[in-house]
Amino acid sequence: MDVVIVTWYDIAKTFNDEDFKDDIILDNRLVKMQSVGWLYKETKGVILLVQEFSEGKPRDYTTIPKSLIVEIKVVK
């Protein structure tokens, strides 16, 4: 398993946004993220990134759609 840094875009959500404007730029609503962990598994559509293990089993993990990934760098 490689340790990787994944750069990807996540959604942004605002509740009860009183400043909502119809001319909002939708592409600016995504948030650029970086997550670090072990590249544990991947399918055609997603990767499973594990940040913590407990007794050899994933405990803290993130599933990231590949369509939202900008870059994956292997940490050496």
Q: How confident is the model over 2-47, as pLDDT tens digits?
A: 999 999 999 877 776 677 778 878 887 889 999 999 999 999 999 9
Structurally, what CATH architecture does the domain formed by 3-14+27-74 represent? Answer: Roll (2.30)
Q: Using CA of residue 49, residue 51, residue 56, residue 59, what is the dihedral sign? A: negative
- Which helix (H) or strand (E) segment holds residue 57: the answer is strand 57-65
Contact 69, 8 (CB under 8 A): yes
* Stated pTM of the model: 0.82
